[in-house]
Amino acid sequence: MKPRLLDLYCCAGGAARGYAEAGFEVIGVDIEPRPRYPYRFVQADALEYLGIFDRSRFAASFDAVHASPPCQDKCALTVGTNRSRGWGGEHVDLVGPTRKALDRLGLPYVIEQPNGKAPVRKDITLCGELFGLGVIRHRNFELGGWTMPRPAHRAHRGRVRGWRHGVYHDGPYVAAYGAGGGKASVAEMQQAMGIDWTDVREELTEAIPPAFTRYIGGQLMAHLMAAAVAQ
């Protein structure tokens, strides 16, 4: 039987695909309908969903958890946008309550956030260049109840293509967020991140490249196997 990973705030499953490729059976939870999510899916508020479990029932249902709480008010790329639209001030931060719920339930977990003001411990930071991708997409991962070696950051091969402050830059990476200003088309985002099962722009701009979680998932799998042998 494959170990089961609960994928909270799953969107269309960029993270999910990497964990599945690392050998996990993945079950996703998102508050929005996500018909393109490629694995078992539950439409629910993530915190309400966690609230139905006690430790023993949770351990009987899952082996590990990944969570990507939305970060619209904390993300360096969208703080300006939020302010210009009058958002941000009253936006609820879901990282703290998610961590608290996962600590209560006791399984090994991963919480992911982009660079910015998000309050996660940066146990691991991944960059697309480590996997030869066409995006940089720095992402931070807090590891709860387990650990893995920190990979070294690889120097970028060049710039992210697009307009910044009135100047056009070419480069080997595309910007897989927002729109306009030379940012990636849907097809370019799919290609650059290795995601071919959704062509919804919003889902692509939210996604983690599967290569990131394939890498973490391999280490998480090794941790679970070592823990099972030690029991």
Residue carrying the six token digits 């956030």: 113
Here's the x/- map for ligand SAM, 95-124, by CB under 6 A: it reads as ------------------------------
Strand pairing class (4-8; 25-30): parallel
End-to-end CA distance of the chain: 18
In angstroms, rounded to a whole number, what is the distance separating the alpha carbons of residues 65 and 60?
13
In angstroms, rounded to a whole number, what is the distance separating the alpha carbons of residues 86 and 119?
22
Tokens of 196: 């071919």
CB of 224 to ligand SAM, least distance (A): 20
In angstroms, rounded to a whole number, what is the distance separating the alpha carbons of residues 104 and 98?
10
Here's the x/- map for ligand SAM, 68-97, by CB under 6 A: it reads as x-x---------------------------
CB of 18 to ligand SAM, least distance (A): 8
Q: Which of residues 150-189 bind ligand SAM (CB under 6 A)?
A: none
Strand pairing class (40-43; 124-126): unpaired
Mention every residue, 6+ apart, whose C-beta is less than 8 A from residue 35. Answer: none
The CB-nearest residue to ligand SAM is 14
CB of 52 to ligand SAM, least distance (A): 13
215 lies in the site for ligand SAM, by CB under 6 A? no
The residue among 137 and 155 lying less far from ligand SAM, judged by its C-beta, is 137
Q: Which of residues 8-47 bind ligand SAM (CB under 6 A)?
A: 9-15, 29-32, 45-46
Residues that bind ligand SAM (CB under 6 A): 9-15, 29-32, 45-46, 68, 70, 206-208
